[in-house]
Amino acid sequence: MSFTLRAVGVVAVLAASAARADVISIAAEQAGNYASDGIGNINTLAFQNYFVGYSTPSAIAERRNFFHFHTGPLGSVTVVSGELVVYVPKFAPGATTDPGDGYISPDPSEVYRISGTMVPASEVTDATNSPAESMAIWDTLGTGLFFGAIEVFPSSKGTYLHIPLSAAAIGILDTGPTDFVIGGKLDSLDRSRPMVLDELLFSFTDVPGSGVFEPPTLKLTIVPGPGSLVLVLAGAAGVMAARRRASVFRA
């Protein structure tokens, strides 16, 4: 086999390798929630319960949750698809060690919506936010750029929800951000009865203290970045050109 053919074979192998997709997982750096009245937010590393909705009488104000991911390493790859994976606890004495019931609602299903937020990660995760600052953050969670949605049922308890990420979310991840924040809310929340019945998801999700389930996780399908492939192909092409020139000079 000539050198030129061998080099073409190398380029083909490299191109095929670059086209191969892999799945990586990125666990949340921090999870929590904000209340509509800006009081009693859960946004500390010590306690990361990310319940969303109404929980009376201890927390009458509507809660919306957030997940913060450190995504710096994504700068060298291309994200082609992804999903947010979150656990719904299930309390069943004798059958599970889950601390409580993750679906509490009088309704047969609930719709959970996730979105982006324009608030920087450093502010979302700041436990010292004032009530006014917290209310402003709460307003952006689940209401920003659409990232995905899923219908949740009582039968979802004890399972992981897999929420496909929208093209908009994938587009943001492909810009190589250092941090990526997802906000969420109950889209099906019945605000006519907040003082009467609980209506919430993800209760009993204190991630650091549970030891029972995996933390909220991004699962991303990736391929090597196009920039790295261009460099590889250019390098291989340069080697072939140099070899051809050397052959001409020897002739």
User: pLDDT per residue over 129-188, tens digit each?
Assistant: 999 999 999 999 999 999 999 999 999 999 999 999 999 999 999 988 999 999 999 999
Quote the Cα angle for 13-19-24, to 5°.
125
CATH number for the domain spanning 122: value is: 2.60.120
On the question of pLDDT at 69 being above 90, the answer is yes
Cα–Cα distance between 130 and 48 in angstroms, integer?
Answer: 19
Cα–Cα distance between 220 and 84 in angstroms, integer?
Answer: 9
- Residue 178, both tokens: 């250092």
Cβ atoms within 10 Å, residue 243: 14
pLDDT of residue 208: 67
Residue 15 inside a domain? The answer is no
CA atoms within 13 A on the CB side of 244: 9
Helices (H), 30-188: 121-124, 131-140, 167-173
Indicate the pLDDT class of residue 193, thresholds 50, 70 and 90. low
- The alpha carbon torsion through 42, 47, 53, 56 (nearest 10 deg) reads -90
Indicate the pLDDT class of residue 11, thresholds 50, 70 and 90. very low
Residue 1 inside a domain? The answer is no
Residue 5 inside a domain? The answer is no
Encode 108-136: b = buried (16+ Cβ within 10 Å), e = exposed.
eebebbbbbbebebeebbbeebeeebbbe
Residue 237 inside a domain? The answer is no
Cα–Cα distance between 194 and 61 in angstroms, integer?
Answer: 8
Nearest to 223 by CA among 14, 11, 20: 20
Cβ atoms within 10 Å, residue 52: 28
| Residue 47 Cα to chain centre, angstroms | 19
Residue 16 inside a domain? The answer is no
Q: How many residues does the chain have?
A: 251
On the question of pLDDT at 241 being above 70, the answer is no
Look up the domain containing 107 and give its range. 21-224
Query: What Å distances lie between residue 199 and 67, 182, 189, 227, CA to CA?
Result: 20, 21, 7, 48
Instruction: Classify the C-alpha dihedral 40-41-46-52 as positive or negative.
Output: positive
Number of domains in the chain: 1
pLDDT of residue 217: 97
pLDDT of residue 8: 34
Indicate the pLDDT class of residue 197, thresholds 50, 70 and 90. confident
Residue 127 inside a domain? The answer is yes
